[in-house]
Amino acid sequence: MELEAAKMIGAGLACSALIGAGVGIGNIFGNYLSGAMRNPSAAPAQFTNLLIGFALAEATGLFGLLIALIILFG
């Protein structure tokens, strides 16, 4: 039972990696929006870059989630 409890706590701790993903994704979309407001004509061209940044920011958080899933179900 001790191990089971430690696993649960560990999985919860691993999910805290998603804090960073949340901050990162918010940062990227917020900055994109403020940039797009300043220069709306340049915004569509940067949409691909926006998605790349979003994907990279999310990936780091998802590694934490993956660890949590491995702990719980692996």
Residues that bind other proteins (CB under 8 A): 48, 51-52, 54-55, 58-59, 62-63, 65-66
Q: What region does 23 belong to: left with phi over 0, alpha with psi -120 to 50, or beta?
A: alpha
Cα–Cα distance for residue pair 45/37, rounded to 1 Å: 14
- To other proteins, the closest distance from the beta carbon of 48 in angstroms equals 6
**Beta carbon nearer to other proteins, 2 or 73:** 73
- To other proteins, the closest distance from the beta carbon of 57 in angstroms equals 11
- To other proteins, the closest distance from the beta carbon of 58 in angstroms equals 6
Q: Which of 22, 21, 57, 2 is nearest to 10 (CA)?
A: 2
**Beta carbon nearer to other proteins, 23 or 51:** 51
Q: Is 1 helix (H, G, I), strand (E, B) or coil?
A: coil
